[in-house]
Structure 1
Amino acid sequence: MRELFESTMERLLADHVTPELVNSCEAGQWPQALWSLLEESGFAVAAAPEALGGAGASWEDLYPVVRACGRHTLPLPLPETLLANALLGHCGLEARNEPLGIAARSTLKLEGSRVSGTLHDVPWGRNVHHAVAIVGDANPVLVVLPRSRATCTERANVAGEPRDELHFDAVAPVASAGLPQGLSGEALWLGGAMLRSAQAAGALEAILQMSTTYAGERVQFGKPLASFQAIQHQLAVMAQHTGCVAVAAEAAFAEAGNSTELNAWAIAAAKVCAAEGTGVAAGMAHAVHGAIGFTHEHALQQATRRLWGWRSEFGNLSHWAQRLGRAVCAGGSTSLWPAVTANRLDLTLGEIA
């Protein structure tokens, strides 16, 4: 299933996602034709169980799909929709073959059968049909809220991707369910961080390929850029970070499998690697390309601006590094090596910021 997903998604995005399309989406266009193709392909509901309208794909199967979304800078909330439908399936709710929004940060309160409050940083909040959120601390409930009943405050990240605020005032969810055992109230936060690490892995692969190609073609002082030792060093460092992020992100997806429990330790490690790798590799990619990489028409800046935006979403480098540090300290010296080898450590310490 994984190989089929990977080849189909790569072909679909390579054929339809162009720098011109990405620029038009940054200007406010919603690419309905492309979303319709994704719906027809079944990718939007792939993570949901077959009995609830999905394909029953595991996160390990879906890793190359999310990575491809990052590599091609897909201007649509497909990764978020995958996560939303996976959570709906874990809660016994029907999958929705439509653009779905998720929000890990909110001020939502459940008052009887109605929900009030604000969802923050909802990817493509202005365009989604419904938003999925978790309400309550002691007894968390997953709710599906109609976008049509929300007041939208439009915002965007550094890449121009919509990150809107949706405010609900005494709105009845179209569906709701208590979280099953094993599904954390932090599921959207953890899942979002896992998605961004895979998207970063894909975008880093893209900028490494662009930089390698450009360095081999561009001639300076009578020689290709790639023949200069300084450029070779930068490309080698970029490759190291790209490989590290890819391995860490794939490990987080593999540890999640298709269970309800996401592996916070693996996700934290992947998010830290992605944030560090972005900081180094994006700067080097622009150094290799020079001024041309910053131009509006060039694909490099589309990838690097998304990398800079994604590294701070669902927890930045400091957030995840501090949570890892607190968990290691709380576990004591004897817990560190078993945590590294078993890929598990309690990361429930600390609040989401």
Structure 2
Amino acid sequence: MDLDMATLQYRSETSELLNESAGRLFASVPDRDIRAAQLGQWSETCWQQVAEAGFPLALVREEVGGFGVSPGEAVDLLRVAGYHAAPVPLAETMLANRLLTEAGFEAAPGPATIAPVTGTSVFALEHQGQGWRIRGHAAGVPWARNVDPIVALVEHDGKPFVVRLERTRADVTQEGSLAGLPSDALTLDSELSGDVVRPAPSRWTCATLKAAGAALRVAEMAGALERVLEMTVTYANERVQFGKPIGKQQAVQQLLATLAGQVAACGAAAAIAGAAFDRLDISAIAAAKVRAGEAVSIAAPIAHQVHGAIGFTEEHRLHFFTRRLWAWRDEFGSERHWSAILGQQAIAAGADGLWPFVTSFGAPQEA
């Protein structure tokens, strides 16, 4: 992937301060809140701290109330959240607020989420009198039971519309992701007033919304993998077997080297996804999501292998991160989904265009 150093080193002083603030906040969250989230419980205290810090507005443009940091810097904030297994829907609220404000709505006053997330979701929107009617269902909507509004992107007559949906308008069936986090099913058949449905900017479609969500998940995956690496190296240096730390054994050192390589690859993928977010570059984000998923598929098993039996226990913190990683691999498109899209684009590029297509991922765009 062709990504110049200027693109990788995009952090401004404001971004550094933002990440430091987020790191302090999320590091102070007690394990009991993280465990409770994995049982589907809501931490109002943690959310209030996040809201007071202004993090949900990080992706909102400055002229409509945002921080004024670049989208890449805002996405990088989610690395910190992933590193600390933050038990709140920060990524979902950031994306919902970006979509709302671009469509002319005000940002959500509290936590929000996005639908659809999976390809099995189907919505229909039609005019009814002076308003609208929305019907359909959506699976795997993160944190739907806890948030208000639910922001949906629905097509009508071939055009995308943003729907600011009150949670009470939907029948919510509580379900969980592989991480145990809320990942609910929605059933909709509701009349809506005209002021909660607005045309989406032309660049927002179901495809680009999924890509935007995927970019945010890649950032979270990168942060979680960094934490997994730190925990695994620390354990390997502390666990003594046959009179010496297991980290001194060549076989374990080789595993740790492989793990570190995958963490670095996921970090580079996150940088590409963050740089591609603002222009909604589906190809670059697809490549990043595929590579991040591959990194997880290699790194997480190594972490558990090195930890041994203790890493599988409920008491150990490793599962805070590996379970999220396995869930995030599938959310907003799995490796199979994005690989198929990349394959179609590569075929469309033809023989002469294949190499430029491959090397374009993450490359800076001309003004």
Which TM-score bucket, shorter chain as reference?
A: over 0.9
What CA distance in whole angstroms lies between the structure 2 residues aligned with 1:249 and 1:97?
Answer: 28
Unaligned runs of 5+ in 2: 1-13
After superposition, residues 88-127 of structure 1 pair within 5 angstroms as: 88-104=100-116, 105=118, 106-112=121-127, 113-127=132-146
- The answer to whether the 8 Å contact 2:173/2:186 transfers is yes
What CA distance in whole angstroms lies between the structure 2 residues aligned with 1:303 and 1:84?
Answer: 24
Question: How many residues are paired up?
Answer: 341
What CA distance in whole angstroms lies between the structure 2 residues aligned with 1:335 and 1:86?
Answer: 33
Map of 1:83 onto structure 2: 95
State which drifts further: 243-252 or 281-290. 243-252
User: 2:278 aligned with 1:273, yes or no?
Assistant: no
Map of 2:240 onto structure 1: 219
- After superposition, the Cα gap between the structure-2 partners of 1:250 and 1:344, relative to the gap in structure 1 and judged at 3 Å, is closer
- The answer to whether the 8 Å contact 1:81/1:99 transfers is yes
Map of 2:16 onto structure 1: 3
Which of 293, 318, 321 does residue 311 from structure 2 map onto? 293
Which of 25, 28, 32 does residue 12 from structure 1 map onto? 25
Q: Deviations along 1:282-302, whole A, 9 cap, x unmatched?
A: 000001000111111111012
Stretches (4+) displaced over 3 A: none
1:39 Cα deviation after fit? 0.8
1:129 match: secondary structure: coil
What CA distance in whole angstroms lies between the structure 1 residues aligned with 2:70 and 2:15?
Answer: 9
Letter paired with 2:296: T
Map of 2:148 onto structure 1: 129
- The answer to whether the 8 Å contact 1:52/1:93 transfers is no
What CA distance in whole angstroms lies between the structure 2 residues aligned with 1:21 and 1:344?
Answer: 37
1:126 match: secondary structure: helix
What CA distance in whole angstroms lies between the structure 1 residues aligned with 2:153 and 2:284?
Answer: 22
Unaligned runs of 5+ in 1: 346-353
- After superposition, the Cα gap between the structure-2 partners of 1:182 and 1:28, relative to the gap in structure 1 and judged at 3 Å, is closer
What CA distance in whole angstroms lies between the structure 2 residues aligned with 1:197 and 1:176?
Answer: 30
What CA distance in whole angstroms lies between the structure 2 residues aligned with 1:157 and 1:202?
Answer: 19
Map of 1:249 onto structure 2: 270
1:109 Cα deviation after fit? 1.3
Map of 2:10 onto structure 1: none
Map of 2:8 onto structure 1: none
- After superposition, the Cα gap between the structure-2 partners of 1:117 and 1:277, relative to the gap in structure 1 and judged at 3 Å, is same
Map of 2:230 onto structure 1: 209
Letter paired with 1:125: A
Map of 1:350 onto structure 2: none
Which of 332, 349, 353 does residue 314 from structure 1 map onto? 332
What CA distance in whole angstroms lies between the structure 2 residues aligned with 1:92 and 1:342?
Answer: 33
Map of 2:160 onto structure 1: 140
- After superposition, the Cα gap between the structure-2 partners of 1:296 and 1:310, relative to the gap in structure 1 and judged at 3 Å, is same
Q: Deviations along 1:210-245, whole A, 9 cap, x unmatched?
A: 000000111000011110001100110011011001
Letter paired with 2:125: L
Map of 2:41 onto structure 1: 29
What CA distance in whole angstroms lies between the structure 1 residues aligned with 2:182 and 2:216?
Answer: 17
2:107 match: secondary structure: coil
What CA distance in whole angstroms lies between the structure 2 residues aligned with 1:59 and 1:15?
Answer: 26
What CA distance in whole angstroms lies between the structure 1 residues aligned with 2:185 and 2:352?
Answer: 44
- The answer to whether the 8 Å contact 1:215/1:226 transfers is yes
What CA distance in whole angstroms lies between the structure 2 residues aligned with 1:57 and 1:100?
Answer: 21
What CA distance in whole angstroms lies between the structure 2 residues aligned with 1:52 and 1:343?
Answer: 30
Letter paired with 1:256: F
State which drifts further: 175-184 or 128-137. 175-184
| Aligned alpha-carbon RMSD (Å) | 1.7
Map of 2:67 onto structure 1: 55
- The answer to whether the 8 Å contact 2:57/2:94 transfers is yes
- The answer to whether the 8 Å contact 1:38/1:44 transfers is yes
